[in-house]
Amino acid sequence: MKFWNEYGRSIKMGVMEDKPNQEKLAKLLRFKSSTQGDKLTSLEAYLARMPAWQKSIYFIAGESEEAVVKSPFLETATKKDIEVLYLTEPVDEYVIQHLADFDGTKFQSLTKEGVKFGDEDEELTKKRVKAYKDSFKPLTEYLRELFTGKLNRVTVSQRVESTPSVIVTSQFGQSANMERIMRAQTFANGERIKEMGGMRTMELNPRHPIIAELNVLVQEKPNEEATDDLAWLLYDTALVASGFQQDDAETYAERMYRTLGSALNVKSMDLHDEIEVPEDEEDVDPLDADVENLDANADAGEEDEEL
């Protein structure tokens, strides 16, 4: 641990810059993972613990361990007891991009599309996905049109367990973590960052009751402001939960206030009239009132003395 604390970052830089010795340096890499607690693990040790059916080294990148532990992308891996590497330093994802694989086993980000764990029944999965796509076609088409310019596509998947929806990027797109790092750079290209939104995919959890009810709602009350707001609320929540930044804070706030108003049964957002002060009441400063009382008491005392 002491060795890694002193030389870990240099080893990571070496993996990226020293191509002839990359394989040797990769064996020295250490990461935290979902199954090893506070201990660091090597890639060799990770491979040794992999079940026979697992085909990839899974990882998730974020700004901190706390952030990745809470990520919805861990849900299915956790259920399957699959070990996931935590990449929490800015350089980590660059390192993995330069490696591509370790000892013949490819790396797979859980935040990218097309994730497979290797234990699926491929034929059954294909049939189930097709059935879900047919059933939720009204919702996916509605959202695809509503989110034009924000997403590349909307689909259903079984990537997550308890979360209604997540937003993923293509295998060649920038992850939410890489996008965060790029935004933080001094000379970040705003247009390039904006273009990244077009490479995102919204994946819906067809088993979640929110998604099921929204599928019904878009058919019964399409193109109503309340329906659109609920759909946007799903998008906004999925965006943040998936690690992305909300770009249009003003419009987001307006939608949230409308949704809040609807939940409170507010009929109009017009401001109420200012409160009216009764005409027979006079505003008296409490301090002035105390002074007047003291003067009155003093005058009464003087009268008593004269008597």
Tens digits of residue pLDDT in 195-249: 655 579 999 999 999 999 999 999 999 989 999 999 999 999 999 999 998 888 8
Q: By CB neighbour count within 10 A (0-12 exposed, 13-18 middle, 19+ buried), where does 13 fall?
A: middle
Q: Where are the alpha helices (DSSP H) in 136-224?
A: 137-146, 176-184, 190-196, 209-220
Q: Domain 1-115 maps to which CATH number in 3.30.70.260, 3.40.50.11260, 3.40.80.10, 3.40.605.10?
A: 3.40.50.11260
Least confident of 11-20, 126-135, 296-305: 296-305
CA 18 to chain centre: 35
What pLDDT does residue 307 have?
A: 45
Residue 295: pLDDT band by 50, 70, 90 thresholds?
Answer: low
pLDDT at 195: 61
Q: What is the pLDDT of residues 18-30, one digit of tens each?
A: 999 999 999 999 9
pTM of the model: 0.81
Angle, alpha carbons 170-12-27 (nearest 5°): 95
Give me the pLDDT at residue 297, please.
Answer: 57
Instruction: Specify the 3-state DSSP secondary structure of 117.
Output: coil
Q: Where in the chain is the domain with CATH 1.20.120.790?
A: 121-265
Share of the chain above pLDDT 70, in %: 86
The yes-or-no verdict on residue 8 having pLDDT over 50 is yes
What are the structure tokens assigned to 31, written together? 């990461």
* pLDDT value for 186: 54
Average pLDDT, rounded, for the chain: 87
pLDDT given at position 183: 74
Tell me how far apart the alpha carbons of residues 193 and 174 are, in angstroms, rounded to a whole number. 9
Position 289 pLDDT exceeds 70: no
Among 19-23, 170-174, 253-257, 282-286, which is the least confidently predicted range? 282-286
Pairing type for strands 32-33 and 84-87 reads antiparallel
- pLDDT exceeds cutoff 90 at 299: no
> d(Cα 234, Cα 204) in Å, to the nearest integer?
10
- β partners of residue 87: 61
CA distance 49 to 47: 5
Fold of 121-265: Four Helix Bundle (Hemerythrin (Met), subunit A) (1.20.120)
The total number of residues written for the chain in this structure: 307
**Residue spans in the chain of domains classed CATH 3.40.50.11260:** 1-115
